[in-house]
């Protein structure tokens, strides 16, 4: 299956990055290279693009798509939280812009072999990095009922989390849950019929929760943002596209903390903690896809773009 993914908020990302022809840019979620192609098209002599992705299929696809840019682009197979390794490999300390396009790609969703889908009956997998040994099957069959309830409630934000967890545990006592089809039938049985008629596919939230847990998506986002901001050149921009309210909350809070890191009590007349602002939040409210993009790509519906600009005093 060909790696296809429509780049969401592409024009907005290019505008917000304020691309310098000779600048250096880092992409922590390279995917099929759609955003990268747009940015590289604005780079000139001396421009560099550092592409990072933990998905081997994504890297192979992006290498083909970005071949015309030659040595301007380097490719690194890491989770984006390991970005410093990619910087060391390219002998780069600071960059002029960073992009994270979070969530799962259209290719990963649509390729049944990857086990992300609830629309086919395929082995439960959901690994973004196929080098890791643990899969979604392990979570479904080994987590306690309380642990399953927690992730479905917190990461899936599903009101029926408790009942879904209960049904999963009961079903696996009879036979191991091996496929997405099995899990989907269990989830359907845990949700009242009248509630299944509205709000999209009944498995969507639980599958999302398991995927987030398996790939540590919120943890790595929380860990990466501060360090990435510290690796921006003065005036450099950091663009993050989220697709989930929990992701967006982390980005919003982290950007705000980096803009105003002071921990002095409000009663203090002047700051004495010594913490300096790392820059400023460009987007007080997130940038959302326009009507034209939403009409062309339904998967853009939940996308939000937030932007941070590095200070000149670093």
Residue 88: phi, psi to the nearest 5? Answer: -65, -40
**What domains does the chain contain, in order, with CATH numbers?**
10-106+218-310 (3.40.50.150), 114-215 (1.10.150.170)
| Tokens 């890191």, located at residue | 261
Banded model confidence at residue 314, pLDDT cuts 50, 70, 90: very low
What is the rounded distance in angstroms from the CA atom of residue 147 to the CA atom of residue 253?
26
Banded model confidence at residue 6, pLDDT cuts 50, 70, 90: confident
Using the predicted structure, report yes or no on whether residue 145 has a pLDDT greater than 90.
yes
pLDDT in tens, 87-131: 999 999 999 999 999 977 666 776 777 888 888 899 999 999 999
- CA quadruple 40, 44, 48, 54: dihedral, nearest 10: 10
Yes or no: say if 49 and 72 are a contact pair by the CB < 8 Å rule. Answer: yes
Task: Report pLDDT for 234.
Answer: 97
CA atoms within a 13 Å half-sphere pointing along the CA-CB vector of 123 = 6
pLDDT in tens, 210-231: 999 999 999 999 999 999 999 9
pTM, rounded to two decimals: 0.91
Yes or no: say if 27 and 51 are a contact pair by the CB < 8 Å rule. Answer: yes
Of the candidate ranges 65-74, 132-141, 154-163, 261-270, the one whose mean pLDDT is the lowest: 261-270
For the chain, strand residue ranges (E) read 24-27, 48-52, 73-76, 95-101, 232-242, 279-281, 304-310
| Tokens 């398996």, located at residue | 214
Mean residue pLDDT across the chain: 92
Q: What percent of the chain has pLDDT over 70?
A: 95
- Determine how many CB atoms are found less than 10 A away from the CB of residue 212: 22
Yes or no: say if 206 and 158 are a contact pair by the CB < 8 Å rule. Answer: yes
Yes or no: say if 49 and 40 are a contact pair by the CB < 8 Å rule. Answer: yes
Banded model confidence at residue 197, pLDDT cuts 50, 70, 90: low
**Residue range 258-276: mean pLDDT, rounded:** 85
DSSP state, 70? Answer: G
pLDDT in tens, 23-64: 999 999 999 899 999 999 999 989 999 999 999 988 999 999
Residue 141 burial (10 A CB sphere; 0-12, 13-18, 19+): middle
| Tokens 């629309």, located at residue | 119
């Amino acid at each position: 299956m060909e790696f296809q993914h429509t780049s969401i908020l592409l024009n907005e990302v290019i505008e917000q990055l304020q691309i310098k022809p000779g600048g250096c840019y880092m992409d922590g979620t390279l995917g099929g290279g759609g955003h990268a192609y747009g940015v590289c098209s604005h780079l000139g002599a001396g421009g560099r693009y550092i592409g990072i992705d933990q998905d081997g299929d994504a890297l192979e696809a992006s290498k083909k798509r970005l071949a015309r840019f030659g040595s301007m682009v380097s490719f690194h197979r890491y989770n984006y939280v390991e970005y410093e390794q990619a910087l060391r490999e390219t002998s780069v300390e600071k960059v002029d812009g960073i992009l994270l396009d979070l969530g799962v790609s259209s290719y990963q969703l649509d390729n049944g072999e990857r086990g992300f889908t609830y629309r086919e009956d395929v082995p439960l997998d959901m690994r973004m990095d196929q080098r890791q040994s643990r899969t979604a099957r392990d979570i479904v069959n080994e987590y306690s009922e309380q642990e399953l309830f927690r992730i479905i409630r917190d990461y899936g934000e599903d009101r029926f989390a408790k009942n879904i967890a209960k049904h999963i545990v009961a079903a696996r006592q009879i036979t191991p849950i091996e496929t997405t089809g099995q899990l989907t039938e269990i989830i359907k049985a845990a949700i009242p019929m009248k509630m299944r008629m509205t709000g999209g596919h009944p498995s969507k939230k639980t599958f999302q929760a398991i995927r987030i847990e398996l790939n540590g998506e919120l943890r790595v986002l929380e860990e990466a943002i501060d360090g990435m901001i510290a690796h921006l050149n003065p005036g450099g921009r950091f663009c993050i596209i989220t697709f989930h309210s929990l992701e967006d909350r982390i980005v919003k809070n982290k950007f705000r903390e980096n803009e105003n890191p002071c921990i002095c009590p409000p009663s203090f007349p002047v700051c004495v903690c010594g913490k300096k602002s790392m820059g400023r939040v460009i987007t007080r409210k997130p940038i959302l896809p326009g009507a034209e993009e939403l009409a062309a790509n339904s998967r853009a519906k939940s996308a939000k773009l937030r932007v941070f600009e590095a200070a000149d005093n670093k």
